[in-house]
Chain A
Amino acid sequence: MKARAILLVEDNPDDEMLTLRALKKNNIVNEITVAHDGAEALELIFSKASSGEPLPGLVLLDLKLPKVEGLEVMRRIRADERTSIIPVVILTGSKLDEDILAGYRGGANAYVRKPVNFAEFAEAVKTLGLFWLILNEPVPEFMPQPD
Protein backbone atom coordinates (compact mmCIF):
# COMPACT_ATOMS: atom_id res chain seq x y z
CA MET A 1 0.00 0.00 0.00
CA LYS A 2 1.31 3.39 -0.96
CA ALA A 3 2.23 5.62 1.95
CA ARG A 4 -0.18 8.48 2.37
CA ALA A 5 0.90 12.02 1.65
CA ILE A 6 1.73 14.53 4.36
CA LEU A 7 0.41 18.06 4.15
CA LEU A 8 2.67 20.58 5.83
CA VAL A 9 1.01 23.94 6.44
CA GLU A 10 3.79 26.39 7.20
CA ASP A 11 4.36 29.99 6.17
CA ASN A 12 7.90 30.42 7.47
CA PRO A 13 10.38 29.26 4.80
CA ASP A 14 13.04 28.35 7.38
CA ASP A 15 10.65 26.24 9.40
CA GLU A 16 9.45 24.66 6.16
CA MET A 17 12.94 23.78 5.02
CA LEU A 18 14.00 22.47 8.43
CA THR A 19 10.85 20.41 8.77
CA LEU A 20 11.27 18.91 5.31
CA ARG A 21 14.90 18.17 6.10
CA ALA A 22 13.95 16.53 9.39
CA LEU A 23 11.36 14.34 7.68
CA LYS A 24 13.84 13.31 5.01
CA LYS A 25 16.59 12.71 7.54
CA ASN A 26 14.33 10.35 9.36
CA ASN A 27 13.61 8.33 6.25
CA ILE A 28 10.10 9.47 5.79
CA VAL A 29 9.52 8.87 2.12
CA ASN A 30 5.93 9.94 1.93
CA GLU A 31 5.02 12.58 -0.57
CA ILE A 32 5.02 15.95 1.22
CA THR A 33 2.92 18.83 0.01
CA VAL A 34 3.42 22.29 1.46
CA ALA A 35 0.72 24.93 1.81
CA HIS A 36 1.95 28.38 2.78
CA ASP A 37 -1.20 29.75 4.34
CA GLY A 38 -4.49 28.55 5.75
CA ALA A 39 -6.53 29.31 2.65
CA GLU A 40 -4.15 27.32 0.42
CA ALA A 41 -4.32 24.39 2.84
CA LEU A 42 -8.12 24.34 2.84
CA GLU A 43 -8.30 24.59 -0.94
CA LEU A 44 -5.88 21.70 -1.30
CA ILE A 45 -7.73 19.46 1.13
CA PHE A 46 -11.23 20.22 -0.09
CA SER A 47 -10.40 19.96 -3.79
CA LYS A 48 -9.12 16.44 -3.09
CA ALA A 49 -12.23 15.69 -1.04
CA SER A 50 -14.46 16.85 -3.90
CA SER A 51 -12.60 15.01 -6.65
CA GLY A 52 -12.31 11.81 -4.63
CA GLU A 53 -8.50 11.86 -4.65
CA PRO A 54 -6.81 10.35 -1.58
CA LEU A 55 -6.70 12.75 1.33
CA PRO A 56 -3.47 13.51 3.21
CA GLY A 57 -2.59 10.92 5.83
CA LEU A 58 -1.43 13.65 8.18
CA VAL A 59 -1.67 17.40 8.39
CA LEU A 60 1.18 19.18 10.14
CA LEU A 61 -0.43 22.49 10.95
CA ASP A 62 1.19 25.69 12.13
CA LEU A 63 -1.16 27.81 14.28
CA LYS A 64 -0.11 31.26 13.21
CA LEU A 65 -0.81 31.49 9.51
CA PRO A 66 -1.57 34.17 6.97
CA LYS A 67 -5.15 34.50 5.65
CA VAL A 68 -6.83 31.69 7.59
CA GLU A 69 -5.46 30.88 11.07
CA GLY A 70 -4.44 27.34 11.95
CA LEU A 71 -7.26 26.80 14.43
CA GLU A 72 -9.80 27.84 11.82
CA VAL A 73 -8.24 25.47 9.28
CA MET A 74 -8.62 22.65 11.80
CA ARG A 75 -12.19 23.67 12.63
CA ARG A 76 -13.18 23.44 8.97
CA ILE A 77 -11.41 20.10 8.49
CA ARG A 78 -13.28 18.74 11.51
CA ALA A 79 -16.59 20.21 10.43
CA ASP A 80 -16.76 18.31 7.12
CA GLU A 81 -17.47 14.61 7.43
CA ARG A 82 -15.30 13.83 4.40
CA THR A 83 -12.23 15.29 6.07
CA SER A 84 -13.04 15.12 9.77
CA ILE A 85 -10.92 12.03 10.48
CA ILE A 86 -7.66 13.33 9.01
CA PRO A 87 -5.06 13.36 11.80
CA VAL A 88 -4.00 16.89 12.55
CA VAL A 89 -0.86 17.68 14.47
CA ILE A 90 -0.44 21.21 15.64
CA LEU A 91 3.08 22.36 14.95
CA THR A 92 3.88 25.68 16.47
CA GLY A 93 6.58 27.78 18.02
CA SER A 94 4.47 28.57 21.06
CA LYS A 95 4.22 26.69 24.28
CA LEU A 96 1.59 28.94 25.76
CA ASP A 97 -0.95 26.87 27.66
CA GLU A 98 -3.77 28.72 25.94
CA ASP A 99 -2.55 27.59 22.53
CA ILE A 100 -2.18 23.98 23.58
CA LEU A 101 -5.66 23.96 25.10
CA ALA A 102 -7.20 25.66 22.10
CA GLY A 103 -5.44 23.17 19.84
CA TYR A 104 -6.81 20.15 21.67
CA ARG A 105 -10.27 21.66 22.02
CA GLY A 106 -10.25 22.27 18.31
CA GLY A 107 -9.64 18.56 17.73
CA ALA A 108 -5.89 18.25 17.28
CA ASN A 109 -4.52 14.71 17.54
CA ALA A 110 -1.22 15.89 18.90
CA TYR A 111 0.65 19.03 19.67
CA VAL A 112 4.32 19.52 18.96
CA ARG A 113 6.25 22.61 19.79
CA LYS A 114 8.71 23.50 17.09
CA PRO A 115 11.89 23.23 19.18
CA VAL A 116 14.89 25.40 18.65
CA ASN A 117 17.01 22.42 19.55
CA PHE A 118 17.34 20.42 16.39
CA ALA A 119 17.68 17.06 18.10
CA GLU A 120 14.36 17.59 19.86
CA PHE A 121 12.82 18.79 16.66
CA ALA A 122 13.94 15.71 14.76
CA GLU A 123 12.79 13.51 17.60
CA ALA A 124 9.37 15.14 17.67
CA VAL A 125 8.83 14.81 13.94
CA LYS A 126 10.24 11.32 13.99
CA THR A 127 7.82 10.25 16.70
CA LEU A 128 4.98 11.64 14.66
CA GLY A 129 6.28 10.00 11.57
CA LEU A 130 6.68 6.70 13.31
CA PHE A 131 3.25 6.85 14.74
CA TRP A 132 1.25 7.97 11.77
CA LEU A 133 3.30 7.18 8.74
CA ILE A 134 6.17 4.81 9.06
CA LEU A 135 3.87 2.18 10.52
CA ASN A 136 1.83 3.10 7.48
CA GLU A 137 -1.46 2.35 9.14
CA PRO A 138 -4.39 3.68 7.19
CA VAL A 139 -6.59 5.98 9.20
CA PRO A 140 -9.15 3.60 10.73
CA GLU A 141 -12.76 4.39 10.01
CA PHE A 142 -13.71 3.97 13.66
CA MET A 143 -11.10 6.33 14.99
CA PRO A 144 -12.69 8.04 17.97
CA GLN A 145 -13.40 11.68 17.44
CA PRO A 146 -12.25 14.23 19.95
CA ASP A 147 -15.17 15.99 21.63
Chain B
Amino acid sequence: MAQLRLEDGPGVPESELLPAIVRSSDDAILGSTTGGMVTTWNPAAEKIYGYRAEEMVGQSLTILCPAERIGEIEETLGKIGRGEPVVHRETVWRRKDGSTFPVSVTTSPIHDDDGRLIGVSAIARDVTEQQQARTAAEFRRRSEGLERVNQSLEAFTYSIAHDLRAPLRALGGYSSALMEDCADYLGEVGRGYAERILAASGQMSELIDGLLILSRIARAEMRLEWVDLGAEVARIAADLQAGAPGRRVHFAIERPVQARADRLLVRTVLKNLVENAWKFTSGQDVALIEFGTAPAGDAATCCYVRDDGAGFDPDYAGKLFQPFQRLHAVSDFPGPGIGLASVRQIVDRHRGRAWAEGAVGEGATFYFTLDAEEIA
Protein backbone atom coordinates (compact mmCIF):
# COMPACT_ATOMS: atom_id res chain seq x y z
CA MET B 1 0.00 0.00 0.00
CA ALA B 2 1.39 3.42 -0.96
CA GLN B 3 2.40 5.80 1.84
CA LEU B 4 1.73 9.48 1.31
CA ARG B 5 4.02 11.75 3.30
CA LEU B 6 2.60 15.07 4.34
CA GLU B 7 5.15 17.87 4.52
CA ASP B 8 5.08 18.42 8.28
CA GLY B 9 3.20 15.43 9.56
CA PRO B 10 3.70 11.78 10.07
CA GLY B 11 3.17 9.40 7.17
CA VAL B 12 -0.43 8.34 6.74
CA PRO B 13 -1.52 5.41 4.62
CA GLU B 14 -3.69 6.47 1.63
CA SER B 15 -6.40 4.14 2.82
CA GLU B 16 -6.75 6.29 5.93
CA LEU B 17 -6.09 9.64 4.33
CA LEU B 18 -8.96 9.54 1.84
CA PRO B 19 -11.65 8.76 4.42
CA ALA B 20 -10.14 11.51 6.57
CA ILE B 21 -10.55 14.00 3.74
CA VAL B 22 -14.11 12.90 3.20
CA ARG B 23 -14.87 13.18 6.94
CA SER B 24 -13.45 16.67 7.24
CA SER B 25 -14.99 18.08 4.04
CA ASP B 26 -17.45 20.97 4.28
CA ASP B 27 -19.31 19.56 1.29
CA ALA B 28 -21.72 16.67 1.61
CA ILE B 29 -20.01 13.63 0.09
CA LEU B 30 -22.10 10.55 -0.35
CA GLY B 31 -21.95 7.29 -2.17
CA SER B 32 -24.80 5.28 -3.59
CA THR B 33 -25.45 2.18 -5.64
CA THR B 34 -26.10 2.65 -9.35
CA GLY B 35 -29.76 2.34 -8.42
CA GLY B 36 -29.58 5.29 -6.03
CA MET B 37 -29.42 3.57 -2.62
CA VAL B 38 -27.18 5.45 -0.19
CA THR B 39 -24.04 3.53 0.86
CA THR B 40 -21.87 6.21 2.51
CA TRP B 41 -22.78 9.52 4.18
CA ASN B 42 -20.16 11.92 5.55
CA PRO B 43 -20.46 14.24 8.58
CA ALA B 44 -20.99 17.31 6.36
CA ALA B 45 -23.96 15.52 4.77
CA GLU B 46 -25.32 14.90 8.27
CA LYS B 47 -24.97 18.59 9.05
CA ILE B 48 -26.41 19.85 5.77
CA TYR B 49 -29.36 17.49 5.48
CA GLY B 50 -30.06 16.75 9.14
CA TYR B 51 -30.08 12.96 8.53
CA ARG B 52 -27.56 10.85 10.45
CA ALA B 53 -25.50 8.30 8.53
CA GLU B 54 -27.34 5.38 10.13
CA GLU B 55 -30.67 6.89 9.01
CA MET B 56 -29.54 7.37 5.44
CA VAL B 57 -27.46 4.32 4.58
CA GLY B 58 -29.76 1.94 2.77
CA GLN B 59 -32.26 4.69 1.94
CA SER B 60 -33.06 5.92 -1.55
CA LEU B 61 -31.43 9.19 -2.64
CA THR B 62 -34.85 10.36 -3.69
CA ILE B 63 -35.82 11.30 -0.13
CA LEU B 64 -33.32 14.18 -0.48
CA CYS B 65 -35.37 15.65 -3.30
CA PRO B 66 -38.55 17.68 -3.32
CA ALA B 67 -41.17 15.45 -4.99
CA GLU B 68 -41.19 17.43 -8.23
CA ARG B 69 -37.44 16.94 -8.71
CA ILE B 70 -37.19 13.17 -8.23
CA GLY B 71 -36.91 12.86 -12.00
CA GLU B 72 -33.57 14.66 -11.85
CA ILE B 73 -32.02 11.89 -9.75
CA GLU B 74 -33.28 9.23 -12.12
CA GLU B 75 -31.95 11.22 -15.05
CA THR B 76 -28.50 11.62 -13.45
CA LEU B 77 -28.26 7.93 -12.55
CA GLY B 78 -29.32 7.10 -16.10
CA LYS B 79 -26.54 9.23 -17.58
CA ILE B 80 -23.92 7.68 -15.32
CA GLY B 81 -25.25 4.22 -16.17
CA ARG B 82 -24.77 5.03 -19.87
CA GLY B 83 -21.12 5.91 -19.22
CA GLU B 84 -21.08 9.67 -18.81
CA PRO B 85 -18.11 10.57 -16.61
CA VAL B 86 -19.38 13.50 -14.49
CA VAL B 87 -22.75 15.16 -14.17
CA HIS B 88 -23.04 18.70 -12.75
CA ARG B 89 -26.34 20.10 -11.67
CA GLU B 90 -27.62 23.21 -9.87
CA THR B 91 -30.81 22.19 -8.15
CA VAL B 92 -32.86 22.27 -4.98
CA TRP B 93 -32.67 19.54 -2.34
CA ARG B 94 -34.62 18.90 0.83
CA ARG B 95 -33.47 18.63 4.44
CA LYS B 96 -34.88 16.22 7.00
CA ASP B 97 -37.04 19.03 8.43
CA GLY B 98 -38.66 19.47 5.02
CA SER B 99 -36.98 22.81 4.24
CA THR B 100 -35.37 23.12 0.83
CA PHE B 101 -32.13 24.81 -0.20
CA PRO B 102 -30.16 25.36 -3.38
CA VAL B 103 -27.31 22.94 -4.05
CA SER B 104 -24.61 22.46 -6.61
CA VAL B 105 -24.14 18.72 -7.12
CA THR B 106 -21.36 16.87 -8.92
CA THR B 107 -22.12 13.20 -9.51
CA SER B 108 -19.47 10.79 -10.78
CA PRO B 109 -19.25 7.07 -11.39
CA ILE B 110 -17.22 4.73 -9.16
CA HIS B 111 -15.46 1.93 -11.02
CA ASP B 112 -13.72 -1.16 -9.62
CA ASP B 113 -10.20 -2.19 -10.68
CA ASP B 114 -11.64 -3.91 -13.74
CA GLY B 115 -13.47 -0.76 -14.84
CA ARG B 116 -16.92 -2.02 -13.96
CA LEU B 117 -19.41 0.55 -12.66
CA ILE B 118 -20.07 -0.33 -9.04
CA GLY B 119 -21.61 2.81 -7.66
CA VAL B 120 -22.03 6.54 -7.76
CA SER B 121 -20.52 9.31 -5.67
CA ALA B 122 -22.03 12.73 -5.24
CA ILE B 123 -20.52 15.89 -3.83
CA ALA B 124 -23.12 18.46 -2.91
CA ARG B 125 -22.48 22.01 -1.82
CA ASP B 126 -25.08 24.23 -0.15
CA VAL B 127 -25.05 27.35 -2.35
CA THR B 128 -27.65 29.35 -0.40
CA GLU B 129 -25.19 32.13 0.31
CA GLN B 130 -23.89 32.35 -3.24
CA GLN B 131 -27.44 32.41 -4.53
CA GLN B 132 -28.44 35.13 -2.08
CA ALA B 133 -25.43 37.15 -3.16
CA ARG B 134 -26.38 36.62 -6.79
CA THR B 135 -29.97 37.64 -6.13
CA ALA B 136 -28.83 40.71 -4.22
CA ALA B 137 -26.48 41.67 -7.05
CA GLU B 138 -29.26 41.18 -9.59
CA PHE B 139 -31.63 43.23 -7.44
CA ARG B 140 -29.03 45.99 -7.19
CA ARG B 141 -28.46 45.93 -10.92
CA ARG B 142 -32.18 46.22 -11.61
CA SER B 143 -32.76 49.01 -9.13
CA GLU B 144 -29.89 50.94 -10.62
CA GLY B 145 -31.45 50.47 -14.04
CA LEU B 146 -34.82 51.63 -12.72
CA GLU B 147 -33.19 54.60 -11.07
CA ARG B 148 -31.65 55.60 -14.42
CA VAL B 149 -34.98 55.20 -16.22
CA ASN B 150 -36.64 57.31 -13.54
CA GLN B 151 -34.07 60.02 -13.90
CA SER B 152 -34.45 60.20 -17.64
CA LEU B 153 -38.24 60.24 -17.24
CA GLU B 154 -37.81 63.11 -14.82
CA ALA B 155 -35.71 64.99 -17.36
CA PHE B 156 -38.23 64.18 -20.07
CA THR B 157 -41.11 65.49 -17.99
CA TYR B 158 -39.19 68.62 -17.15
CA SER B 159 -38.48 69.16 -20.81
CA ILE B 160 -42.16 68.71 -21.72
CA ALA B 161 -43.19 71.13 -19.02
CA HIS B 162 -40.73 73.80 -20.12
CA ASP B 163 -39.76 73.38 -23.72
CA LEU B 164 -43.03 72.31 -25.32
CA ARG B 165 -44.78 75.24 -23.75
CA ALA B 166 -42.50 77.89 -25.22
CA PRO B 167 -43.68 77.60 -28.86
CA LEU B 168 -47.22 77.14 -27.58
CA ARG B 169 -47.02 80.44 -25.72
CA ALA B 170 -45.90 82.07 -28.94
CA LEU B 171 -48.85 80.58 -30.87
CA GLY B 172 -51.37 81.73 -28.30
CA GLY B 173 -49.68 85.03 -27.66
CA TYR B 174 -49.33 86.09 -31.29
CA SER B 175 -52.82 84.99 -32.24
CA SER B 176 -54.19 87.12 -29.41
CA ALA B 177 -51.98 89.97 -30.54
CA LEU B 178 -53.31 89.55 -34.09
CA MET B 179 -56.88 89.75 -32.86
CA GLU B 180 -56.20 92.80 -30.75
CA ASP B 181 -53.71 94.78 -32.80
CA CYS B 182 -54.72 93.89 -36.34
CA ALA B 183 -58.45 93.36 -35.96
CA ASP B 184 -59.24 95.85 -38.71
CA TYR B 185 -57.09 94.23 -41.38
CA LEU B 186 -58.11 90.74 -40.41
CA GLY B 187 -61.82 91.21 -40.77
CA GLU B 188 -64.29 88.81 -39.27
CA VAL B 189 -62.99 85.71 -41.06
CA GLY B 190 -59.39 86.40 -40.10
CA ARG B 191 -60.33 87.02 -36.49
CA GLY B 192 -62.20 83.73 -36.49
CA TYR B 193 -59.08 81.90 -37.67
CA ALA B 194 -56.92 83.60 -35.07
CA GLU B 195 -59.45 82.60 -32.43
CA ARG B 196 -59.19 78.99 -33.54
CA ILE B 197 -55.41 79.08 -33.30
CA LEU B 198 -55.75 80.49 -29.80
CA ALA B 199 -58.26 77.82 -28.79
CA ALA B 200 -56.10 75.03 -30.21
CA SER B 201 -53.02 76.22 -28.36
CA GLY B 202 -55.06 76.35 -25.16
CA GLN B 203 -56.20 72.81 -25.80
CA MET B 204 -52.68 71.60 -26.36
CA SER B 205 -51.67 73.26 -23.15
CA GLU B 206 -54.39 71.26 -21.38
CA LEU B 207 -53.11 68.06 -22.97
CA ILE B 208 -49.61 68.79 -21.74
CA ASP B 209 -50.98 69.45 -18.25
CA GLY B 210 -52.82 66.14 -18.42
CA LEU B 211 -49.68 64.24 -19.39
CA LEU B 212 -47.75 65.91 -16.60
CA ILE B 213 -50.45 64.98 -14.09
CA LEU B 214 -50.32 61.34 -15.22
CA SER B 215 -46.55 61.19 -15.09
CA ARG B 216 -46.56 62.77 -11.65
CA ILE B 217 -49.02 60.16 -10.39
CA ALA B 218 -46.80 57.42 -11.77
CA ARG B 219 -43.79 58.80 -9.91
CA ALA B 220 -45.49 59.98 -6.72
CA GLU B 221 -44.20 58.47 -3.51
CA MET B 222 -46.89 56.36 -1.81
CA ARG B 223 -47.54 56.87 1.88
CA LEU B 224 -50.11 54.31 2.98
CA GLU B 225 -52.43 55.08 5.86
CA TRP B 226 -55.98 54.23 6.92
CA VAL B 227 -58.31 56.52 5.01
CA ASP B 228 -62.08 56.77 5.48
CA LEU B 229 -63.12 56.86 1.84
CA GLY B 230 -66.72 57.66 2.82
CA ALA B 231 -65.62 60.77 4.72
CA GLU B 232 -63.55 61.86 1.70
CA VAL B 233 -66.55 61.44 -0.61
CA ALA B 234 -68.74 63.41 1.81
CA ARG B 235 -66.25 66.29 1.74
CA ILE B 236 -66.08 66.28 -2.07
CA ALA B 237 -69.90 66.19 -2.24
CA ALA B 238 -70.19 69.13 0.16
CA ASP B 239 -67.77 71.17 -1.97
CA LEU B 240 -69.71 70.41 -5.14
CA GLN B 241 -73.03 71.32 -3.54
CA ALA B 242 -71.65 74.53 -2.11
CA GLY B 243 -70.39 75.46 -5.58
CA ALA B 244 -73.76 74.87 -7.27
CA PRO B 245 -76.53 75.46 -4.73
CA GLY B 246 -79.13 75.44 -7.50
CA ARG B 247 -78.66 71.76 -8.32
CA ARG B 248 -80.73 69.07 -6.63
CA VAL B 249 -78.42 66.12 -6.19
CA HIS B 250 -78.91 63.57 -3.44
CA PHE B 251 -75.85 61.80 -2.14
CA ALA B 252 -76.05 58.38 -0.48
CA ILE B 253 -72.66 57.78 1.09
CA GLU B 254 -71.62 54.69 3.00
CA ARG B 255 -69.51 55.54 6.06
CA PRO B 256 -67.03 54.67 7.27
CA VAL B 257 -65.20 52.81 4.52
CA GLN B 258 -61.70 52.29 5.83
CA ALA B 259 -58.94 51.37 3.37
CA ARG B 260 -55.17 51.35 3.27
CA ALA B 261 -54.28 53.99 0.72
CA ASP B 262 -52.23 57.05 -0.07
CA ARG B 263 -54.58 59.80 1.06
CA LEU B 264 -53.75 62.35 -1.64
CA LEU B 265 -53.85 59.83 -4.46
CA VAL B 266 -57.06 58.11 -3.37
CA ARG B 267 -58.66 61.51 -2.89
CA THR B 268 -57.88 62.19 -6.56
CA VAL B 269 -59.65 58.92 -7.49
CA LEU B 270 -62.77 59.81 -5.51
CA LYS B 271 -62.75 63.39 -6.69
CA ASN B 272 -62.57 62.33 -10.33
CA LEU B 273 -65.33 59.75 -9.97
CA VAL B 274 -67.69 61.94 -7.92
CA GLU B 275 -67.09 64.97 -10.14
CA ASN B 276 -67.76 62.80 -13.18
CA ALA B 277 -71.03 61.64 -11.63
CA TRP B 278 -71.87 65.24 -10.84
CA LYS B 279 -71.07 66.33 -14.38
CA PHE B 280 -72.97 63.53 -16.10
CA THR B 281 -76.11 64.11 -14.04
CA SER B 282 -76.18 67.81 -14.87
CA GLY B 283 -79.05 67.29 -17.32
CA GLN B 284 -81.40 66.04 -14.62
CA ASP B 285 -83.80 67.93 -12.38
CA VAL B 286 -83.04 65.59 -9.51
CA ALA B 287 -80.06 63.28 -9.42
CA LEU B 288 -78.79 60.54 -7.15
CA ILE B 289 -75.09 59.81 -6.59
CA GLU B 290 -74.14 56.84 -4.43
CA PHE B 291 -70.90 55.74 -2.87
CA GLY B 292 -70.59 52.31 -1.28
CA THR B 293 -68.74 49.03 -1.02
CA ALA B 294 -69.18 45.86 -3.05
CA PRO B 295 -67.85 42.31 -2.49
CA ALA B 296 -64.09 42.67 -2.90
CA GLY B 297 -63.10 39.16 -4.05
CA ASP B 298 -59.33 38.80 -3.67
CA ALA B 299 -58.74 42.47 -2.98
CA ALA B 300 -58.87 44.21 0.39
CA THR B 301 -61.54 46.75 -0.60
CA CYS B 302 -63.98 47.25 -3.47
CA CYS B 303 -65.90 50.50 -3.80
CA TYR B 304 -68.24 52.02 -6.32
CA VAL B 305 -69.55 55.43 -7.32
CA ARG B 306 -72.94 55.22 -9.01
CA ASP B 307 -75.02 57.89 -10.70
CA ASP B 308 -78.33 57.96 -12.55
CA GLY B 309 -77.05 60.33 -15.21
CA ALA B 310 -76.23 60.21 -18.92
CA GLY B 311 -74.44 56.84 -18.72
CA PHE B 312 -72.33 55.56 -21.61
CA ASP B 313 -72.37 53.03 -24.42
CA PRO B 314 -71.08 49.80 -22.82
CA ASP B 315 -69.38 48.86 -26.11
CA TYR B 316 -66.83 51.54 -25.38
CA ALA B 317 -66.41 50.80 -21.67
CA GLY B 318 -62.81 49.67 -22.25
CA LYS B 319 -61.88 53.03 -23.75
CA LEU B 320 -63.13 55.00 -20.77
CA PHE B 321 -59.92 54.71 -18.80
CA GLN B 322 -57.57 55.67 -21.63
CA PRO B 323 -56.10 59.16 -21.50
CA PHE B 324 -57.76 61.80 -23.68
CA GLN B 325 -60.58 59.45 -24.70
CA ARG B 326 -64.04 60.83 -24.35
CA LEU B 327 -67.36 59.22 -25.10
CA HIS B 328 -69.26 62.49 -25.04
CA ALA B 329 -68.77 65.65 -27.10
CA VAL B 330 -66.64 68.29 -25.36
CA SER B 331 -69.50 70.74 -25.84
CA ASP B 332 -71.87 68.47 -23.86
CA PHE B 333 -69.50 67.57 -21.04
CA PRO B 334 -66.27 69.58 -21.03
CA GLY B 335 -62.99 68.41 -19.51
CA PRO B 336 -59.54 67.43 -20.65
CA GLY B 337 -60.28 63.67 -20.60
CA ILE B 338 -57.62 62.75 -18.08
CA GLY B 339 -59.73 61.99 -14.99
CA LEU B 340 -60.42 58.30 -15.51
CA ALA B 341 -56.91 57.67 -16.79
CA SER B 342 -55.55 59.01 -13.53
CA VAL B 343 -58.11 56.91 -11.64
CA ARG B 344 -56.80 53.78 -13.31
CA GLN B 345 -53.21 54.74 -12.74
CA ILE B 346 -53.73 55.44 -9.05
CA VAL B 347 -55.74 52.25 -8.57
CA ASP B 348 -52.95 50.34 -10.33
CA ARG B 349 -50.47 51.77 -7.88
CA HIS B 350 -52.67 50.39 -5.09
CA ARG B 351 -52.61 46.97 -6.79
CA GLY B 352 -56.28 47.31 -7.61
CA ARG B 353 -58.55 47.31 -10.65
CA ALA B 354 -60.98 49.88 -12.04
CA TRP B 355 -63.91 49.19 -14.32
CA ALA B 356 -67.26 50.66 -15.27
CA GLU B 357 -70.78 49.46 -15.92
CA GLY B 358 -73.53 51.46 -17.52
CA ALA B 359 -75.81 52.11 -20.48
CA VAL B 360 -76.80 55.21 -22.41
CA GLY B 361 -79.37 57.14 -20.41
CA GLU B 362 -79.27 54.68 -17.55
CA GLY B 363 -76.47 56.02 -15.41
CA ALA B 364 -73.04 54.63 -14.73
CA THR B 365 -71.30 52.75 -11.95
CA PHE B 366 -67.55 52.98 -11.53
CA TYR B 367 -65.91 50.29 -9.43
CA PHE B 368 -62.41 50.15 -8.08
CA THR B 369 -60.54 47.82 -5.78
CA LEU B 370 -57.61 48.66 -3.52
CA ASP B 371 -55.13 46.10 -2.32
CA ALA B 372 -52.11 48.16 -1.40
CA GLU B 373 -49.35 46.40 0.46
CA GLU B 374 -46.76 47.83 2.75
CA ILE B 375 -43.33 47.61 1.19
CA ALA B 376 -40.80 46.95 3.90
Contact = CB atoms under 8 A, between A and B. Distances in A.
Contact size range, A: 10 to 19
Contacts, number: 57
List of 5 A-B pairs having minimum Cβ-Cβ separation, nearest first:
A118-B176, A14-B170, A18-B173, A93-B165, A116-B172
A93 B173 CA distance: 13
A116 B177 contact: no
A93 B205 CA distance: 11
Contacts of A117: 172, 198, 202, 205
B158 A96 contact: yes
Contact of B161 (A14, A18, A96, A118): A96
A12 B167 CA distance: 9
Interface string B196-212: 00100110010000001
B169 interface: yes
Given A116-B171, A116-B172, 12 more contacts: A14-B166, A14-B173, A18-B170, A18-B177, A64-B162, A94-B158, A94-B162, A95-B161, A114-B169, A116-B202, A117-B198, A119-B176
Contacts of B205: 116-117
A116 B174 contact: no
B168 interface: yes
Contacts of A64: 162
Nearest to A97: B216
A104 interface: no
Nearest to A93: B165
A93 B161 contact: yes
A121 interface: yes
19 contacts: A12-B166, A14-B170, A14-B174, A15-B169, A15-B170, A18-B173, A18-B174, A18-B177, A21-B177, A94-B158, A94-B162, A116-B169, A116-B173, A117-B202, A117-B205, A118-B173, A118-B176, A118-B177, A121-B173
B168 A116 contact: yes
Interface of A: 12, 14-15, 18, 21, 25, 64, 92-96, 114-119, 121
Contacts of A118: 172-173, 175-177, 198
Contacts of B175: 118
A27 to B, nearest CB: 14
Contacts of B171: 116
Interface string B134-172: 000000000000000000000000100110011111111
Contacts of A96: 158, 161, 212
Contacts of A25: 180
Contacts of A114: 165, 169
A116 B166 CA distance: 8
A5 B205 CA distance: 32
B295 to A, nearest CB: 39
A95 B160 CA distance: 11
Nearest to B209: A95
